[in-house]
Amino acid sequence: MQQNTYLCILTMQQTVGGATAIGTFADTIKPSPRMTRADIYEKARGELTRLRPELTDGIVLFFALDNDQL
């Protein structure tokens, strides 16, 4: 059975040296058959903090995972 494609959006915030850093990950994801919603959340969080290390240990302001098909 073919997996659907999902739109994943994750926004995080972290205070760094008195300034506020905010970043958003937004991409489509085609999960493997055994992936869970939590797996996708961790994948998105990992990708965002890889690209923006200052957001590591930051708080999540927004997370959405929706079927990308209209």
Q: Nearest-CA neighbor of 5 among 26, 30, 25, 27?
A: 30
pLDDT tens per residue across span 4-43? 999 999 999 999 889 999 999 999 999 998 999 999 999 9
Average pLDDT estimate for 47-65: 97
Q: Report the predicted TM-score, pTM, of the whole model to 2 decimal places.
A: 0.90
Q: What angle do CA 5, 50, 7 make, to 5 degrees?
A: 15
pLDDT band per the 50, 70, 90 thresholds, residue 61:
very high
